[in-house]
Amino acid sequence: MKDPQQMKKTDQGPLWGKTAIVTGASSGIGRSTALALAGDGAAVVVSARRKDRLNVLVDAIVSAGGKALAVAGDAAVPADIDRLLQHAMAWKDGGEKYDIVVVNAGRGLAGGLLNSDAGQWQALYDLNVLGAAHLMRRAGEYMVGRKAGHIVAIGSVVGRHISPFGGVYGATKFAVSALAEGLRREVCGHGVRVSLVMPGIVSTEFQAVAGYNQENFGKNVAQFGTLLEPESIAEGIRWLLAQPPHVNVSEIMIRPTGQSYP
Ligand SMILES: NC(=O)c1ccc[n+]([C@@H]2O[C@H](COP(=O)([O-])OP(=O)(O)OC[C@H]3O[C@@H](n4cnc5c(N)ncnc54)[C@H](OP(=O)(O)O)[C@@H]3O)[C@@H](O)[C@H]2O)c1
């Protein structure tokens, strides 16, 4: 995995005074997003299962002058999600509140309906759909009460255009798209924004975790040229968060230029 991003500190940046929770921050898109938001001045609460990785990230942000808190937990377990939010609410450096939640923790699964490992379907659904739904619900309830806030859900291009190579994973991301738009319609009248970010192919640990290899992935994407780095997605998230409160970018899709499909 190539991930050379370092935190770029912006004094009094556009997210100064805001607290952002980022799940799946031990790697890839989540890690890059946490660094980007901290660089824009946000206090960041980072979560994932690998505490050692979170600690390294927190050290990097704090030593660059930012504010960060690590809360380890499983994003598929409602009690862990509730604990994450409780820690954010109790964090003095974060102002004992949160303004932004990036619902990013997730994983893929190689193969379509016929040849993916059905023994992993439940775990995939529990994390990508039910875990995301629980976090969006709790954050949505809180933000409606505050009449402000921004929830960013990470979907996928395969959550809009299904692929025969990832039918079950794609179905979980179709569900994330539906949850994000359903929530947006529930909360928009209360000053709360919801954005769906749909990445194309990004080089992260995602491919190895999903079980992609040269045969089921490498050969198909070779024609697409340079794939995205996680920073490209973090940049999109930074941009939509920086819009004024009355502007809600409800969805963006970011693909490698050469990705013709899906
Ligand atoms: N890479 C792509 O091509 C691509 C394309 C479209 C969408 N996406 C989506 O982007 C999001 C981030 O993926 P990525 O590419 O950055 O992959 P990644 O590098 O594998 O990162 C996944 C993150 O999710 C965390 N995670 C996984 N299972 C978890 C669990 N049960 N509980 C808590 N945290 C968990 C991982 O941390 P721990 O292992 O430490 O828990 C890690 O921090 C995912 O939702 C993915 O579906 C990725």
We report the CATH number of the domain holding residue 91 as 3.40.50.720
Q: How many residues does this entry show for the chain?
A: 262
Q: Can you give the pLDDT at residue 197?
A: 99
The answer to the question of residue 64 being in a domain is: yes
Most confident range (mean pLDDT) of 4-8, 99-103, 205-209, 216-220 is: 99-103
The answer to the question of residue 89 being in a domain is: yes
Q: State if residue 206 touches ligand 1 by the CB under 6 angstroms criterion.
A: yes
- Specify the pairing of strand 149-154 against strand 43-48: unpaired
The answer to the question of residue 53 being in a domain is: yes
> In this structure, which amino acid lies at residue 210?
A
Q: State if residue 201 touches ligand 1 by the CB under 6 angstroms criterion.
A: yes
Q: State if residue 253 touches ligand 1 by the CB under 6 angstroms criterion.
A: no
The answer to the question of residue 259 being in a domain is: no
75 CA from centroid of ligand 1 (Å): 10
Residue 221 sits at φ, ψ, to 5 deg, of -95, -5
1 CA from centroid of ligand 1 (Å): 13
Measured CA distances, 40 to 7, 91, 226, 256 (Å) = 9, 19, 27, 25
| Active-site residue flag, 169 | yes
pLDDT tens digits, 46-83: 999 999 999 999 999 999 999 999 999 999 999 999 99
Q: State if residue 29 touches ligand 1 by the CB under 6 angstroms criterion.
A: yes
Confidence check: pLDDT of 8 > 90: no
- Residue with CA nearest ligand 1 atom 43: 24
- Which domain range does residue 120 map to? 19-254
The answer to the question of residue 152 being in a domain is: yes
The answer to the question of residue 85 being in a domain is: yes
Q: Can you give the pLDDT at residue 1?
A: 44
Q: What is the mean pLDDT of residues 183-194?
A: 98
The answer to the question of residue 260 being in a domain is: no
Sheet with 192-199, strands from edge to edge, namely: 67-72, 43-48, 19-23, 100-103, 149-154, 192-199, 251-254
Q: Can you give the pLDDT at residue 213?
A: 87
The answer to the question of residue 1 being in a domain is: no
Q: Can you give the pLDDT at residue 216?
A: 81
- pTM, rounded to two decimals: 0.96
Q: Can you give the pLDDT at residue 12?
A: 74
Domains held by the chain: number: 1
Mutate-to-test residue for ligand 1 from 27, 31, 52, 179, highest number of ligand atoms within 8 A of CB? 27
